[in-house]
Amino acid sequence: MTSKIHKLADVEDGAKIGDGTKIWRWTHVMPEATIGKNCNIGQGVFVQDGAVIGDRVKIQNNVSIYDGVILEDDVFIGPSVVFTNVRKPNPYEPTATSCYSRTVVKHGASIGANATVVCGVTIGENALIGAGSVITKDVPAGVTVVGNPAGILVRSITGESFVVSFEQYYVKRRHNN
């Protein structure tokens, strides 16, 4: 099985593309990027040198995956999700790649449309990031987060949904264990 790369995509020599991966039009993959097997990379996606994308990852349209971003296997990235890789960008001088912060999206996590992921965080396995959320802290495995800044979506004993801060979530878990 070979990869399917649209004729209007720009996949530079040296990029590592796994078998069965589809890359759509107006996507740019730089030469030191790594994309796994059976991925679907939508139109208008940018994958920078040093970015790592696992197997069976689906990236919707208009997403930039920068150096320092690692997407593990079976991750879903919704349309127009924003990743960053520098905490304090300086417009007056170039940022050394050694200053890039690492962002990891763990196996099975899903990030909804237009979410922003501030660099230096880890999104846990099977976590769900609601559309439009702003992620500024590590997200625990298996939880749903929503809002700006994102909070953890929980349900009361009556089934009513509400959002708590990361701090409230961790304090409650510590007292219940």
**Per-residue pLDDT tens listing for the chain (177 residues):** 789 999 999 999 999 999 999 999 999 999 999 999 999 999 999 999 999 999 999 999 999 999 999 999 999 999 999 999 988 888 888 888 788 899 999 999 999 999 999 999 999 999 999 999 999 999 999 999 999 988 888 776 677 777 877 777 766 555 565
Residue 173 phi, psi (nearest 5)? -65, -40
CA distance 42 to 20: 14
**Which residue from 6, 28, 1 is spatially nearest to 15, judged by alpha carbons?**
28
Domains recognised in the chain with CATH numbers: 4-176 (2.160.10.10)
pTM: 0.89
